[in-house]
Amino acid sequence: MPVEYARMVEFLRDVHSRPGGTGAVLNLIHGSKLRWSSDLSALTALVSDPRRKLDLARHSFDEARHSYLLLERMAALGFKPFRLPSHLDRLERLLVRSRARDVKQVYAEGASVGDAELMELVAAALILEEDALLKLQAHCEVLSHDPTTRAILCGMSADETRHVAYLGAWLDGFATRFSPRAVAAARERLTETFRAVDDAYCGALAEYFDRAAQAA
């Protein structure tokens, strides 16, 4: 097991053992799911290819379903969800630093998204989904004491695996449409951006979990 992953597992094990810890984790995941479902719904309307529309619509449906399951589980745990502060919105912070426009704004303007912009969005989405998958797998490792929550998150992990697969296939297609170098450069640039965003996010988690514990 890589050292960084092992540390993440131990960190999550500690978080889930705290008062309100599991609810706070689910609230974090719920916030990203809710936002991502909204963006994917808008993007579905902006692409013209029927196959792409179906893939994006299914992905958006998955995220909305996950959001519902998380809300349901938080209610069962007695945890009252609250809106995440903007500095914990990694999706927003990555996308505003990308070369793509805000998809909801594009939709509102009645405009469309071309292949170059879609490639940027897909590269960003793949980075986010790969990170989400890794974290969900870590949660599954530490939740043996809570089989209900574990089943929900492991089910989400299966969906994230499918998301990573189709987004990766799309990105491979863009490498043919443009060039492997262009796709690799976009992914490298966005990966570096995401690392900075994730560092800031991780630095804010202690305060977030303290707030959640006080509310528990």
Q: What was the pLDDT predicted at 211?
A: 86
* Mean pLDDT estimate for the chain: 95
**What's the mean pLDDT in 168-191?**
97
pLDDT in tens, 127-163: 999 999 999 999 999 999 999 999 999 999 999 999 9
CB of 64 within 8 A of CB of 24? no
CB of 113 within 8 A of CB of 52? no
Which one has a higher pLDDT value, 171 or 3? 171
Model confidence at 213, pLDDT cuts 50, 70, 90, reads: confident
pLDDT in tens, 39-71: 999 999 999 999 999 999 999 999 999 999 999
Q: Which residue has the tokens 């998204």?
A: 113
The pLDDT > 90 percentage for the chain reads 93
Reported CATH class of domain 3-215? mainly alpha
Count of beta carbons in the 10 Å neighbourhood of residue 86: 8
pLDDT at 3 over 70: no
In this prediction the pTM is 0.94
Q: Which residue has the tokens 């560092």?
A: 199
pLDDT at 2 over 80: no
